[in-house]
Amino acid sequence: MSDGIKFEDYLDKYGKLTYSNKGTSMMPLLKQGRDLFTVKRKNGRCAKGDVVLYKRPPESYVLHRVIEVRKNSYVILGDNCINKEYGIKDKDIIGVMISYVRKGKAHSVNDLRYKLYSRYIMATITPRFFFKRIKLKLKRIVKRLIYER
């Protein structure tokens, strides 16, 4: 954060935090430079489908979705990603998304459209992996063909 305060300290002090995302991992839900998200401090265990803000060592923060709840950890994945992250513990998660602003319009995670989107994202993880991997392989092949000329 610009004033040097850590996200977890801000959440402890104010209860919730609104911020903008960086990168493409949560597209199409959130677009860098356009959208905002609001998280509240995590209380208890997270649920499958929750979008969480967690801390990666040493000082990196990530906003991704819980795709599997395990006994002592979570499996987490960005909506636009193909690499699952394993072993995320409760102590790593500092906040859970409660709302977002997309294209200037505010939405709650309790809105029907968001719930439908979240279910769609969760239900299509396997086919999206398949198509993204094919797309990456095709890009490599095309790149190789172009540079071999």
User: Cβ-count burial of 27 within 10 angstroms (0-12 exposed, 13-18 middle, 19+ buried)?
Assistant: middle
Domain count, the chain: 1
Give residue 38's pLDDT.
97
E strands along the chain, which residues? 16-20, 36-41, 51-56, 60-69, 74-77, 85-88, 93-102, 105-108
Q: Name the nearest CA neighbour of 20 among 1, 3, 6.
A: 1
Q: Say how far apart CA 105 and CA 58 lie, in whole Å.
A: 34
Per the domain annotation, does 131 fall within a domain?
no
Per the domain annotation, does 130 fall within a domain?
no
Give residue 1's pLDDT.
52
CATH number at residue 103: 2.10.109.10
Q: Could you list the residue range(s) of the whole structural domain that residue 118 is in?
A: 7-124
Per the domain annotation, does 14 fall within a domain?
yes
Per the domain annotation, does 29 fall within a domain?
yes
Per the domain annotation, does 134 fall within a domain?
no
Using CA atoms, how far residue 146 sits from 22, 23, 136, 140, 149, in Å, is 31, 28, 15, 10, 6
Rounded mean pLDDT for each run of 10 residues along the chain, 149 residues in total: 77 93 93 95 93 89 96 96 93 96 95 96 90 86 81
Cis peptide before 127, with omega less than 30 degrees from 0? no
Q: At what angle do helices 125-147 and 112-123 cross, to 10 degrees?
A: 60
Per the domain annotation, does 35 fall within a domain?
yes
